[in-house]
């Protein structure tokens, strides 16, 4: 059996990750079985062929696997999210516990096939960590997740691998007709002692896998609206448990604008790097129709405040919001607002396809008023117009898609 060892960065060393110290990051190609084993600094990947890849965290738990044309992603609670292409359509679903157990079992059986002869102790240790798990143990991770977290409703795409710190629950407004992210919980700011216990449980849940998550996200919906006097000890406690990571978070215009620029400067100095704003649209009548406070003018002023404080900013616009009735005005005024925003290198503009929940106040009002949603081509066309217009107006900012269905934590 021939093997090829390729040492990557970190000077050939990996950081200590607990009981086992991995000495080198290497790629081992086992030509006898065509397996590629990649022992990276923060994860392990295994591939028996060009169409199959399995990824694991440093605790040995699955992160994701691609097999037979299906992408599987395991959440920290061991829900298994599947994305599969069936003809021209892409299907997304979550496995029930019995199916998840079977999927974990099949995955571990495949890992057990990796040839061991000649492998370094570090790589054999990685495989042993993976195979120490059973489907039952993986499903039992839900109990540990529930001890650490309330449901994590949503994150921006570039934060899917952040460590979420739930400093607050819910959203202070929570009455936008289109949003159901926080309907199951009233807004509550957690006392510092409760947050410290939460951080300890999160650290225990993640274990060595915390090394994969290089960012911190302050949740839930708009935790950054807390007074800086309350945020300072929260940030300090968070960075004590998870050092060396920048901080991110959502905020909304109608509460965030109450803070003066000096407060945002202080938060930047404490480690806040980027703020995420769900602007949704630049058309004020559509905002009012969706029962979301704020205006295009307020949004532009608030983004200016955040940029004056030296922060990076990400704004989110919805594609298809307001259906056919508002389509033209939504595009026109959103492009006009985008052109006013002082966004540049390091800033993000997300375009998020609108997902209507059938039992939401938005859906009921649209039905009552006869507002038809955009069809597939209409939504695709609106996305293209917004994307191209925003790229033209903000050439240094990044414009990207944000499909909330892709979110897994």
pLDDT of 278-317, one tens digit each?
999 999 999 999 999 999 999 999 999 999 999 999 999 9
pLDDT band of 18, cuts 50, 70, 90: very low
- What is the pLDDT at residue 33? 60
Categorize the per-residue pLDDT at 89 as very low, low, confident or very high, splitting at 50, 70 and 90: confident
Among 368, 379, 382, which residue's Cα sits nearest to residue 289? 368
The arithmetic mean of pLDDT across residues 131-156, rounded, is 97
What is the C-alpha separation between 372 and 308, in angstroms, rounded?
A: 41
Better-scored residue on pLDDT, 258 or 272: 272
pLDDT exceeds cutoff 80 at 6: no
3 or 354, which is more confident? 354
Confidence band (pLDDT; 50, 70, 90) for 163? very high
Which DSSP state fits 223? Answer: G
Has residue 2 got a pLDDT over 80?
A: no
* Beta strands at 312-319 and 168-169: parallel, antiparallel or unpaired: unpaired
Q: List 351's β-bridge partners, or say none.
A: 317, 401
| C-beta separation of 225 from 189 below 8 A | no
Quote the mean pLDDT of the chain. 91
Separation between Cα atoms, residue 248 and residue 148, nearest integer Å: 20
Name the nearest CA neighbour of 246 among 282, 225, 266, 271. Answer: 271
Task: Lowest mean pLDDT of 22-36, 131-145, 373-387, name the range.
Answer: 22-36
Interior/surface letters 68-99, b for 16+ CB within 10 angstroms, e for the rest? eeeebbbbbbbbbbbbeeeeeeeeeeebeeee
What is the per-residue pLDDT for 25? 43
Q: Which whole number is the average pLDDT over 26-39?
A: 66
pLDDT of residue 27: 52
Tell me what pLDDT residue 10 has: 33
117 band by pLDDT with thresholds 50, 70 and 90: confident
pLDDT of 327 above 50:
yes
Classify 219 as helix, strand or coil. strand
Q: Residue 61 contacts by C-beta under 8 Å, 6 or more apart in sequence?
A: 74, 133, 138, 141, 209
Q: How much is the average pLDDT of 264-268?
A: 98
Please give the span between the terminal C-alpha atoms of the chain, in angstroms, as a whole number: 39
H/E segment holding residue 398: strand 398-401
How large is the average pLDDT for residues 74-91?
92
Percent of the chain clearing pLDDT 90 (strictly above): 83
pLDDT band at 30 (very low <50, low <70, confident <90, very high): low
Nearest to 174 by CA among 279, 282, 275, 291: 291
Residue 109: the pLDDT is 97
pLDDT classification of 69: cutoffs 50, 70, 90 = confident
- The more confident residue out of 275 and 221 is 275
Mean pLDDT, rounded, for 128-136 = 98
166-203 confidence digits (pLDDT tens): 999 999 999 999 999 998 889 999 999 999 999 999 99
What is the tally of helices (H) and strands (E) in the chain?
Answer: 13, 18
User: What dihedral angle (degrees, nearest 10) is formed by the CA atoms of 64, 67, 72, 78?
Assistant: -70
Q: Does 121 score more than 80 pLDDT?
A: yes
Q: Which helix (H) or strand (E) holds 164?
A: strand 163-166
Q: Which of 311, 378, 309 is nearest to 347 (CA)?
A: 311
Confidence of residue 118 (pLDDT cuts 50, 70, 90): confident
Q: What is the mean pLDDT of residues 70-75?
A: 97
- Please state which of the ranges 93-107, 170-184, 267-281, 373-387 shows the lowest mean pLDDT: 170-184
Mean pLDDT of 356-369: 95
pLDDT at 34: 80
């Amino acid at each position: 059996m021939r093997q090829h060892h390729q040492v990557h960065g970190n000077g050939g060393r990996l950081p200590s990750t607990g009981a086992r110290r991995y000495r080198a990051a290497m790629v081992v190609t086992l030509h006898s079985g065509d397996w590629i084993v990649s022992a990276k600094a923060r994860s392990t990947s295994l591939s028996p062929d060009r169409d199959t890849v399995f990824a694991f965290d440093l605790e040995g738990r699955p992160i994701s696997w691609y097999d037979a044309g299906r992408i599987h992603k395991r959440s920290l609670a061991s829900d298994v999210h599947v994305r599969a292409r069936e003809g021209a359509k892409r299907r997304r679903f979550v496995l029930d516990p019995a199916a998840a157990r079977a999927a974990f079992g099949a995955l571990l059986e495949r890992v057990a096939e990796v040839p061991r002869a000649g492998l370094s102790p570090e790589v054999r240790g990685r495989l042993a960590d993976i195979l120490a798990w059973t489907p039952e143990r993986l499903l039992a991770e839900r109990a540990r997740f529930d001890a650490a977290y309330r449901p994590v409703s949503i994150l921006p795409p570039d934060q899917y691998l952040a460590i979420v710190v739930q400093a607050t629950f819910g959203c202070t407004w929570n009455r936008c007709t289109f949003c159901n992210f926080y309907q199951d919980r009233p807004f509550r700011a957690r006392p510092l002692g409760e947050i410290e216990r939460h951080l300890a449980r999160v650290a225990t849940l993640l274990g060595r896998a915390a090394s994969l998550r290089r960012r911190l996200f302050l949740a839930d919906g708009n935790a950054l609206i807390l007074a800086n006097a309350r945020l300072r000890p929260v940030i300090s406690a968070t960075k004590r448990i998870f050092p060396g990571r920048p901080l991110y978070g959502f905020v909304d215009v109608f509460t965030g604008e109450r803070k003066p620029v000096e407060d945002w400067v202080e938060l930047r100095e404490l480690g806040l790097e980027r703020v995420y704003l769900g602007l949704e649209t630049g058309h004020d009548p559509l905002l009012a129709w969706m029962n979301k406070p704020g205006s295009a003018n307020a949004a532009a002023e608030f983004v200016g405040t955040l940029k004056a404080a030296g922060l990076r900013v990400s704004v989110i616009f919805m594609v298809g919001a307001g259906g056919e009735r508002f389509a033209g005005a939504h595009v026109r005024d959103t492009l006009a607002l985008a052109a006013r925003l002082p966004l540049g290198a390091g800033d993000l503009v997300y375009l998020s396809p609108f997902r209507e929940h059938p039992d939401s106040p938005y859906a009921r009002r649209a039905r009552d008023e006869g507002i038809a949603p955009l069809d597939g081509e209409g939504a695709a066309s609106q996305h293209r117009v917004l994307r191209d217009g925003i790229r033209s107006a903000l050439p240094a900012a990044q414009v990207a898609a944000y499909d909330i269905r892709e979110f897994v934590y």
